């Protein structure tokens, strides 16, 4: 027989250090942190499932949206313009509607557009009670499904009898009365109506949603038109009421104004109050003229006094002839000329004659005569100035006397005019009020004929070209994107919450147990136990075969370090797992065949006396004796052993037994194993799961090494840890573990990343 020779480390601690230095898995202490590498790994592992989910959601969304009826929106714009035709500017006047330009009034108009009364008017105007879209005869698929479910519940008696509010086509018993149908139609109508103010402007937007484009625009225009007509009628009615009220008010004010004017004229006549053409009193005009005359007279008097005082002063000083009035006198001028001539003659004679000469004396006499004449003229002029002063003083006195009389008369009339002013103010006020109400009456009468409201249709609704919902592309895109995100999050959560082992590093770091091999999950059509274990023989260079070969090397490596019981004795290998269905039996058979193919003498024992499977795995359809027969001394060992039809392997199959635990833990079992040591190089025992029964713990005592099988990603860590603790309590010699049924592609992402996957696939393919 061939012997496999391996170079081994000096101690187990060296092997452990080799495993612990393996890069890749960060260990449990780092699992709480999600790195970009983790996100990328999750995406690469689950991208097909995520993409499939997104495609399914997209198809489902498109299918659902295709059944949803389209919704069109008709949009009409109303603008509030209270300045177009306002009858009255006074807001408190009951003859006109209030101003609609402030935000509170705009909101009031919005609420009126949403009111039940307006909706009722439009429903009646368009006869929407007969329209299937509004009376409930036609409903969308979702509503129909809900109605069907409600009817089913009612038919089963799970819901109390209620008054129906929806479909009039449900039957005579459930049909609605005319009034109820109308109210239901109005409610459906209001659910499709949307009215709101546009920002801070005075524009009101009226939107109506309908399954028909023409109906959406027509109803939006009908709502706007009905509202405007209602406002016009309301304003016309208010104008008519205002006109009647104003007519009575104007007649009353006309009588009051005429009475006030008559009182003014009567008072003037009684008290003699006459006004000029410009509206002022005659006494005031006379007093003003006298005042002006008095001022003029006093000025003249002052001027005359000034002249008289000057002349008198010059006369007293002997220079009367120098007075201005004297110098300006024509007579004085002539006398001065004569005096000048005489003085010239005297000067001429004085050069020839003396003072006593008759000619000289004659000239002196003439000069004295001229001087006397001048003095006489001066005295006359002074007298004239005195007369002027007296005249001016008399005139001023007369004016003062007249002015005093006029002032007394004016004061009396002014006292009378106080009452007159009051009467005139009252008359003016009455006339102004009368004119104001008269103008408003004319405006109200015009408003009745115009019937123009403060709200007008700024933009009528046109037929929409495209529906606003459902937005199939947007809904599909959003749902697809959401499904991608949710699928990725679900994959990430599933990845972080995975309770199993996904890589060799996880097992070694968590359990402290080396992983001898990672056996891939076989993708075969007929997945039977026999077909699974035959894959190693049919495809000797596959990844599955390489994994079993690695398991063989790992087992041989660890068992060679243990001393044999006696020279030439074989090794006993126990293969077990924590739970059923982890690939334990297929791993056991594949390992045994691999050892046999390497030239070793191998015996495989099926120690699972409750659910034996070795015979099925080897394809042994008929065998005369089983393990229980030999342990019960019903046959010899040679009779119980059966050859493998596909390899030089010898097998000891088992059958179900009620005394499984007693047989497995018996001395006969231990003796049989010792006997098989002598005739085989390896004795491979397939035991029951550790957590299922206690057989594995009993078998572990007679084995040289135990191989623990863990199903990749499926076996719970708690279960594995508990099973290992139970084996260690019985001092089982654990050789290592096997990760079985690993997904080839996904496993590589957790082991050494995606870069090695194409290379390995190409390697195994070649």
Residues 6+ apart with CB under 8 A from 698: 661, 664, 665, 730
Q: What share of the chain is helix, strand, coil (3-state, %, to 5)?
A: 60, 10, 30
Task: Look at residue 707 and tell me whether its pLDDT is greater than 70.
Answer: yes
* pLDDT confidence of residue 594: 92
Q: Sketch out the chain's domains with CATH numbers.
A: 12-25+503-765 (3.40.50.300), 282-411 (no CATH)
Instruction: Indicate if the pLDDT at residue 710 is higher than 70.
Output: yes
Assigned token pair, 450 = 């115009």
Collapsed DSSP state (helix, strand, coil) of residue 67: helix
Cα angle, residue 162 at apex, residues 156 and 166 outer, rounded to 5°: 100
Cβ atoms of residues 447 and 238 within 8 Å: no
The DSSP symbol for 166 reads: S
- Would the pLDDT of 263 be above 70? yes
Q: What tens digit of pLDDT does each residue of 341-360 get?
A: 877 777 777 777 777 878 77
* pLDDT > 70 fraction of the chain, expressed in percent and rounded: 78
Banded pLDDT at 528 (limits 50, 70, 90) = confident
pLDDT at 195 over 90: yes
Provide the pLDDT for residue 173: 42
Q: How far apart are CA 314 and CA 470, in angstroms?
A: 124
Using 50, 70 and 90 to split pLDDT, how confident is the model at 130?
A: confident
The pLDDT tens digits for 227-244 are: 888 888 877 777 777 788
Would you say residue 31 has pLDDT above 90? no
Where do we find the tokens 């000096």? 10
More confident residue, 118 or 100: 118
Supply the mean pLDDT for the chain. 79
Residue 189 neighbours by CB under 8 Å, 6+ apart: 119, 122, 123, 128, 134, 219
Q: Starting at the earlier edge strand, list the strands of the sheet with 682-686.
A: 515-520, 734-742, 705-711, 571-577, 682-686, 602-606, 650-652, 642-643
Q: Which residue has the higher pLDDT, 717 or 159?
A: 717
pLDDT at 67 over 60: yes
DSSP output for 519-550: EEPP--SS--HHHHHHHHHH-TTSHHHHHHHH
- Cα 340 off chain centre by: 121
Tell me the mean pLDDT in the region 631-650.
91
Tens digit of each residue's pLDDT (9 = 90 or more) over 578-601:
999 899 999 999 999 999 999 999
pLDDT at 133 over 60: yes
- Given a cut of 50, is residue 497 above it in pLDDT? yes
Q: Where are the alpha helices (DSSP H) in 686-754?
A: 695-700, 717-729, 744-751
Which one is predicted more confidently, 761 or 333? 333
Which residue from 759, 764, 688 is spatially nearest to 727, judged by alpha carbons?
A: 688
- pLDDT at site 88: 43
Rounded mean pLDDT, 552-563: 81
Taking the CA atoms of residue 327, residue 329, residue 335 and residue 336 in that order, the dihedral angle to the nearest 10 degrees is: 20
Mean pLDDT value across residues 627-656: 91
Residue 30 has pLDDT above 50, yes or no: no
Model confidence at 424: pLDDT above 90: no
| Verdict on whether the full-model pTM lies above 0.85 | no
Q: What is the pLDDT of residue 329?
A: 67
> pLDDT of 293-302, one tens digit each?
778 877 877 8
**pLDDT band at residue 98, thresholds of 50, 70 and 90?**
very low
CB-neighbour burial class of residue 21 (10 A; exposed 0-12, middle 13-18, buried 19+):
exposed
Tokens of 108: 């009031």
Q: Could you tell me the pLDDT band of residue 97, with boundaries at 50, 70 and 90?
A: very low
Tokens of 461: 């609704």
């Amino acid at each position: 027989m061939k012997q496999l020779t391996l170079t081994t480390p000096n101690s187990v601690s060296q092997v452990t250090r080799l495993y612990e230095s393996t890069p890749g898995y960060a260990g449990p202490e780092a699992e709480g942190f999600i790195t970009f590498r983790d996100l990328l790994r999750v995406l690469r592992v689950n991208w097909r499932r995520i993409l499939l989910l997104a495609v399914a959601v997209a198809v489902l969304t498109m299918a659902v949206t295709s059944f949803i009826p389209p919704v069109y929106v008709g949009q009409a714009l109303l603008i509030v313009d209270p300045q177009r035709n306002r009858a009255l500017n006074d807001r408190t006047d009951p003859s006109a509607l209030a101003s609609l330009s402030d935000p509170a009034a705009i909101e009031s108009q919005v609420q009126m557009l949403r009111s039940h009364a307006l909706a009722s008017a439009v429903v009646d105007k368009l006869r929407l009670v007969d329209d299937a879209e509004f009376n409930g005869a036609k409903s969308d698929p979702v509503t129909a499904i809900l109605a069907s479910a409600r009817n089913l519940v009612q038919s089963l008696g799970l819901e109390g009898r209620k008054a129906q509010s929806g479909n009039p086509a449900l039957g005579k018993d459930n049909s609605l009365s005319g009034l109820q149908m109308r109210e239901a139609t109005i409610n459906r109508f209001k659910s499709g109506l949307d009215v709101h103010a546009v920002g801070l402007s005075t524009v009101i937007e009226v939107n109506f949603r309908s399954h028909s484009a023409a109906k959406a625009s027509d109803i939006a225009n009908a709502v706007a038109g009905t509202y405007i007509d209602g406002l016009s009628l309301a304003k016309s009615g208010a104008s008519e009421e205002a006109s009647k009220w104003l007519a009575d008010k104007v007649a009353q004010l006309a009588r009051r104004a005429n009475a006030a004017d008559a009182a003014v004229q009567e008072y003037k006549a009684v008290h003699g109050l006459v006004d000029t053409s410009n509206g002022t009193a005659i006494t005031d005009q006379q007093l003003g003229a006298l005042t002006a005359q008095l001022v003029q007279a006093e000025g003249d008097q002052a001027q005359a006094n000034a002249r008289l005082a000057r002349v008198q002063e010059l006369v007293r000083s002997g220079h009367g002839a120098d007075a201005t009035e004297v110098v300006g006198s024509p007579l004085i001028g002539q006398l001065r000329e004569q005096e000048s001539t005489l003085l010239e003659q005297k000067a001429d004679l004085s050069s020839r004659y003396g003072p006593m000469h008759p000619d000289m004396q004659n000239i002196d006499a003439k000069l004295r005569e001229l001087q006397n004449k001048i003095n006489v003229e001066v005295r006359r002029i002074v007298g004239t100035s005195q007369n002027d002063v007296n005249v001016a003083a008399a005139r001023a006195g007369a004016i003062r006397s007249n002015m005093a009389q006029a002032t007394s008369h004016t004061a009396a009339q002014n006292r009378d005019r106080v009452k007159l002013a009051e009467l005139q103010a009252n008359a003016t006020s009455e006339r102004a009020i009368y004119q104001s109400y008269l103008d408003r009456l004319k405006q109200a009468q015009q408003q009745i004929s115009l019937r123009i409201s403060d709200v007008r249709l700024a933009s009528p609704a046109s037929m929409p070209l495209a529906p606003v919902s459902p937005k199939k592309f947007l809904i599909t895109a959003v749902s697809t994107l959401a499904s991608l995100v949710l699928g990725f999050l679900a994959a990430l959560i599933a990845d972080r919450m995975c309770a199993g082992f996904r890589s060799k590093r996880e097992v070694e770091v968590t359990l402290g147990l080396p992983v001898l091999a990672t056996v891939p999950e076989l993708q075969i059509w007929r997945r039977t136990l026999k077909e699974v274990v035959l894959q190693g023989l049919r495809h000797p260079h596959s990844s599955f075969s390489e994994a079993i070969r690695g398991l063989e090397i790992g087992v041989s490596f660890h068992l060679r370090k243990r001393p044999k019981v006696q020279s030439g004795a074989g090794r006993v290998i126990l293969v077990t797992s924590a739970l059923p269905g982890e690939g334990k039996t297929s791993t056991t058979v594949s390992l045994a065949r691999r050892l046999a193919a390497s030239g070793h003498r191998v015996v495989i024992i099926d120690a699972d006396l409750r659910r034996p499977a070795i015979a099925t795995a080897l394809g042994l359809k008929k065998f005369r004796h089983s393990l229980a027969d030999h342990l019960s001394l019903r046959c010899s060992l040679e009779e119980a052993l059966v050859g493998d039809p596909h390899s030089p392997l010898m097998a000891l199959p088992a059958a179900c037994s009620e005394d499984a635990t007693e047989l497995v833990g018996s001395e006969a079992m231990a003796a049989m194993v010792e006997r098989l040591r002598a005739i085989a190089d390896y004795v491979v025992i397939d035991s029951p799961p550790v957590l299922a029964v206690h057989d594995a713990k009993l078998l572990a005592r007679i084995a040289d090494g135990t191989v623990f099988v863990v199903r990749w990603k499926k076996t719970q860590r708690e279960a594995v840890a508990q099973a290992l603790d139970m084996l260690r309590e019985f001092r089982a010699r654990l050789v290592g573990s096997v990760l079985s049924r690993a997904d080839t592609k996904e496993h590589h992402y957790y082991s050494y990343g995606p870069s090695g996957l194409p290379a390995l696939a190409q390697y195994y393919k070649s």
